[in-house]
Amino acid sequence: MVEYRDYYKILGVERNSDEKAIRKAYRDLARRYHPDVNPGDKGAESKFKEINEAYEVLSDSDKRAKYDQLGSSYQQYARGGNGSGAGGFDWSSWAAANGGGGNGGAGGANSYDSGDMSDFFSTIFGSRPRTQQRTTQMTRGRDVEQPIEVTLEEVYAGTNYTVKRGDKQTKIRVPPGAQDGTRIRVPGQGDPGMGGGPAGDLFLVVTRKPHPLFKVRETETDLDIDLKIDFYTALLGGEVLVPTLNGDVKLRIAEGTQSGRLLRISKRGLPDLHEPDMYGDLYARVLIQIPTELSLTERDLFRELAAMRAVKSP
């Protein structure tokens, strides 16, 4: 029994939809159910064949007109109570009377190839001739964006990243100096093309993870760090170790350094994305740690110092 196929319902469009709406619906569905996107999924493969068959008819003005005429005839037949549904309607007789159907001969230029078309299609329109076989429109696949997070250490040195798309894995290089919003193109790893068209590209969009020590300045290469030093070093001067993305460095603290002072450490920031041999600076903001839980002796000494400073004050 040959069952009626509602091609408009298969594509999810209205019967008065124009060519643009039909083409858009087809592309969206074909992309969703394409075998490359659903490897091994027989249900998706069957749906993909239905979608292509519906598009084959509705995108061709002659086939669509004939299909619409068939729909009207079948509805009239059903309303007249002539039989019990699709099984009672003589599809082949209707097709023969309206210029279609049949097996189209057997060989040569008029030979036919039913391919993946349903019995309904073959009965109404005949199988597609090999010499005139219409292929799915070749369309490039859609580009896809995928966010990735990297640490500042990875931004400093660059890092390798494994991209997973379906059953494919590709290693790509995140360059030194990558910034928030940097897009890294991975050719051919986007959505698959239609009708043999090329796949789209994958774009990895970088986001830098917050760091517990460093903050990135608007320059994208300079860094800030809070540098905590003890009261005595700030008062008398000395050397301290400052963490950087490339190991600790010694920094000279001048005598009498005030809290909040910015100390620049040259070329200890991030590399420039476009000139990776060029580095920004690291700015250390001094935060003086006041001693707590003083001993009695320390308190007495500080009181003596305070008294001495008071005598010197005008």
Range 214-311: architecture per CATH: Sandwich (2.60)
Q: Please name the residues in contact with 44: beta carbons below 8 A apart, sequence gap of 6 or more.
A: 33, 34, 35, 37, 38
The per-residue pLDDT for 91 is 53
Sorting pLDDT into bands at 50, 70 and 90, what band is 100?
low
- Band (pLDDT 50/70/90 cuts) for residue 74 is low
- Average of per-residue pLDDT across 68-95: 56
Domains 7-132 and 144-208 share a fold: no
Range name among 135-149, 201-215, 293-307 with the lowest pLDDT average: 135-149
Longest dimension (CA), the chain: 121
Q: What is the mean pLDDT of residues 72-91?
A: 51
For domain 144-208, the CATH architecture is Sandwich (2.60)
How high is the pLDDT of residue 170?
Answer: 86
The residue that leads in pLDDT, 54 or 137, is 54
pLDDT single digits (tens) 209-236? 999 999 999 999 999 999 999 999 999 9
- The pLDDT assigned to 112 comes to 29
Question: Is a pLDDT exceeding 80 seen at residue 86?
Answer: no
Please state, for a pLDDT cut of 90, what percent of the chain lies above it: 40
Domain spans, the chain: 7-132, 144-208, 214-311
Kindly tell me if the per-residue pLDDT of 80 is higher than 60: no
Determine the Cα angle at 7 with ends 2 and 56, to 5°.
Answer: 100
What was the pLDDT predicted at 131?
38
Q: Does the pLDDT at position 68 exceed 80?
A: yes
Between helices 42-58 and 61-79, what is the axis angle to 10°? 100
Condensed to tens digits (0 to 9), the pLDDT of residues 239-260 reads 999 999 999 999 999 999 999 9
The model's confidence at residue 99, banded by pLDDT at 50, 70 and 90, is low
Q: Is the pLDDT score of 295 beyond 70?
A: yes
* Phi, psi (deg, nearest 5) at residue 289: -90, 115
Among the listed residues 238, 260, 262, 261, the one whose alpha carbon sits nearest the alpha carbon of residue 250: 238
CATH 1.10.287.110 fits 7-132, yes or no: yes
Give the tens place of pLDDT for each residue, 128-186.
Answer: 544 344 445 678 888 889 999 999 999 999 999 998 877 788 899 999 999 999 999 99
Mean pLDDT of 283-298: 90
Q: How many other C-beta atoms are found inside a 10 Å radius of the C-beta of residue 193?
A: 20
pLDDT at 13: 92
Average pLDDT over residues 95-107: 46
Residues 112-129: pLDDT tens digits?
233 466 767 776 676 554
Distance, CA of 140 to chain centre = 16
Contacts of residue 66, Cβ cutoff 8 Å, sequence gap at least 6: 98, 99, 100, 124, 125
Instruction: Summarize pLDDT for 17-45 with one digit per residue, the tens.
Output: 999 999 899 888 888 888 777 777 888 88
Say if residues 220 and 206 touch (Cβ distance below 8 Å): no
Q: What pLDDT shows up at residue 41?
A: 84
Report the range out of 43-47, 92-96, 103-107, 284-288 with the highest average pLDDT: 284-288
d(CA 294, CA 303): 12
CB 286 within 8 A of CB 259: yes
